[in-house]
Amino acid sequence: MAPVLFRALKSAVNVPLASMGMRIERIDDHDWSDVANYIPFERTLEAATALGLSIGDYVDTVMNGVPGSSRQTIEKMAACGVFDAQVKTIVEVGPGTGRYLEKTVEIARPQLYEIYETAGAWSNYLTEKYAVVHQPTDGYSMGATADRSVDLAHAHKVFSTVPFLVTCSYFREFARVVRGGGWVVFDIVTERCLDAEVMETWATAPGIRNGSYPSVFPRDVAISFFQSSGFELIDSFILPMPPGTTELLAFKRSA
């Protein structure tokens, strides 16, 4: 089949197939622009094992070149006060390898941890390894989570990969599911992460050209949206996301 035809067919069918842990791809070919299927499961696990690293450390250190970055993010959340009161119920969108999930569980010890994850191989791995509930994931809604039922809704390095409408839909869902006094934490690539020099760096970096990564989201739009839903921006941090940066925002809903 002609490559152009194969790519068109693949993008049409891979998003719905991803929730079942399936995809079409050429043998020995991983499509890095297919963000709903994330990175190849077996190859990544093998590579981490070969280096004697946990999967989280492998992603932090080898794939992203920022050792300790997922732990530093959780420490920033802690510094904002996210874990000061008991965090009984957590929902995470796009946990991938679980590098933020494992550290969040360690610190919060929640009674319920729900995940919405499109990549079937990774969600199977996470449900086997951790006591988490993989909720049916259509890629934009969180229908299995009740209104105002969770203490923390978070997502890391997800909204820089998906198109604008997916981020809008999940923001709406975060605002729906978080209870009074609860938290919403996520990172987005904002204006603060993008000066002319950084744009040059992104534009000349090797890798995906014709895909949704990196997606950007206007900072003021995100802040006004959550403020209009009764949240206050507690703090924000610029974090490394090579070859650029991303901005972590932590919002708290009034009690």
Ligand X SMILES: C[S@@+](CC[C@H](N)C(=O)[O-])C[C@H]1O[C@@H](n2cnc3c(N)ncnc32)[C@H](O)[C@@H]1O
Q: Which residues form the interface with ligand X (CB under 6 A)? A: 35-36, 38, 59, 93-97, 99-100, 116-119, 122, 137, 139-140, 156-158, 161-162, 166
Q: Report residue 178 as tokens.
A: 């978080």
- The distance of closest approach from Cβ of residue 35 to ligand X in the complex, given in angstroms and rounded to an integer, is 5
Q: Which is nearer to ligand X, 104 or 190 (CB)?
A: 104
Q: Which is nearer to ligand X, 11 or 230 (CB)?
A: 11
- The distance of closest approach from Cβ of residue 52 to ligand X in the complex, given in angstroms and rounded to an integer, is 20
Q: Bin 87: left if φ > 0, else alpha if -120 < ψ < 50, else beta.
A: beta
Radius of gyration of the chain (CA): 18
Contact present, 222 and 209 (Cβ < 8 Å): no
- The distance of closest approach from Cβ of residue 171 to ligand X in the complex, given in angstroms and rounded to an integer, is 13
Q: Which is nearer to ligand X, 57 or 230 (CB)?
A: 57
Q: Which is nearer to ligand X, 138 or 235 (CB)?
A: 138
- The distance of closest approach from Cβ of residue 176 to ligand X in the complex, given in angstroms and rounded to an integer, is 16
Q: What is the DSSP code string of 127-171?
A: HHHSS-EE----SS--TTS-TT-EEEEEESS-TTTS-HHHHHHHH
Pairing of strands 112-116, 133-134: parallel
